[in-house]
């Protein structure tokens, strides 16, 4: 479960928007309040908030998001328990508060609005409220046997690692078996293996590398592996052709039928490779430099 929190000033607007997104909103938490709709509850908040007019962001907004799988199994009673535990962990039991469920897009989550001002007119300290919300949600998730934010992050990292490995393996297969001699061929062969390769153009309208789309991820070449950055990828492709990658005037190449300028980094990498080939060819002929 992931917890998010922040201080807000627009209590009525936020609460009304969140509540109205879900018709017949299911209230799972209600503390020190009598109202039954956003307008009435906002008015009740204001009565207490008038004791502390110096505090501008006088309400707290939280979102508690279990994983999609956990959310499917959470009854109204369990969601109420989840919210009450979170409020207790944040030490907000003595503040006015309302929590209601959203079940939109199959992702169950709870919106909670709490009056930052208590009945004595004291403002709840909101320093590091975002981090504290994360820690409180993490603790509640552990106590209730739900997936924690750390476990979610670990799974995401594991999935990313698998995707990077698959892209890298496909790249190596294409380079070994197909030996593309230019960028267009490389893009074509990668697409045949289910990976979309997209040219990455910088603000100067220069090709600076490629991005890889695969299984819902969009990664820079260097994020897949350091050997797949723009310059290093260019050198690998240049190695597959006797003439290397032929640069036209102004360090340009043909890419997808268009003349494209190369970034300094890629152009330099290709130029160095060409120079090495010339030197090697000259030495092989026994001429010397």
Task: Indicate yes or no: pTM above 0.85.
Answer: no
Average pLDDT on 183-207 reads 93
Count CA atoms closer than 13 A to 90's CA, side-chain side.
39
Residue 36 to residue 102: CA distance in whole angstroms:
17
**What is the predicted pLDDT for the residue at 171?**
97
Q: Which tops the pLDDT comparison, 70 or 242?
A: 70
Residue 161 to residue 262: CA distance in whole angstroms:
30
Say yes or no to pLDDT of 253 above 70.
Answer: yes
**What is the predicted pLDDT for the residue at 219?**
96
**What is the predicted pLDDT for the residue at 258?**
85
pLDDT tens by residue, 115-171: 999 999 999 999 999 999 999 999 999 999 999 989 988 988 999 999 999 999 999
pLDDT tens by residue, 68-118: 899 988 999 999 999 999 999 999 999 999 999 988 667 899 999 999 999
Q: Which tops the pLDDT comparison, 55 or 278?
A: 55
User: What does the buried/exposed string (b/e) look like for 99-124 if buried means 16 or more CB atoms within 10 Å of the residue's CB?
Assistant: bbbbeeeeebbbbbbbbbbbeeeebb
């Amino acid at each position: 479960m992931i917890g998010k929190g922040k201080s807000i000033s627009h209590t009525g607007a936020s609460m009304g928007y969140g509540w109205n997104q879900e018709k017949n909103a299911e209230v799972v938490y209600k503390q020190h309040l009598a109202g039954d709709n956003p307008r009435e509850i906002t008015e009740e908040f204001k009565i207490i908030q008038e004791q502390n007019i110096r505090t501008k962001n006088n309400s707290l907004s939280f979102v508690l998001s279990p994983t999609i799988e956990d959310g499917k199994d959470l009854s109204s009673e369990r969601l109420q328990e989840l919210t009450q535990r979170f409020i207790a962990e944040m030490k907000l039991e003595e503040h006015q508060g309302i929590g209601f469920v959203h079940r939109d897009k199959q992702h169950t989550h709870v919106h909670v609005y709490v009056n930052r001002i208590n009945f004595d007119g004291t403002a709840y300290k909101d320093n590091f409220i975002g981090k504290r919300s994360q820690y409180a949600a993490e603790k509640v998730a552990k106590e209730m046997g739900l997936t924690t934010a750390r476990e979610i992050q670990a799974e995401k990292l594991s999935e990313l690692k698998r995707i990077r490995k698959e892209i890298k393996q496909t790249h190596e297969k294409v380079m070994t078996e197909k030996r593309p001699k230019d960028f267009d061929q490389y893009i074509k062969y990668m697409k045949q293996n289910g990976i979309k390769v997209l040219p990455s153009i910088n603000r100067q309208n220069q090709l600076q590398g490629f991005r890889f789309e695969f299984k819902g991820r969009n990664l820079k070449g260097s994020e897949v592996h350091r050997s797949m950055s723009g310059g290093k990828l260019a050198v690998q492709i240049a190695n597959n052709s006797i003439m290397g990658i032929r640069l036209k005037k102004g360090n340009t190449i043909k890419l997808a039928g268009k003349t494209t300028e190369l970034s300094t980094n890629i152009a330099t990498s290709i130029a160095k490779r060409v120079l090495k080939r010339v030197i090697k060819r000259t030495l092989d002929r026994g001429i010397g430099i």
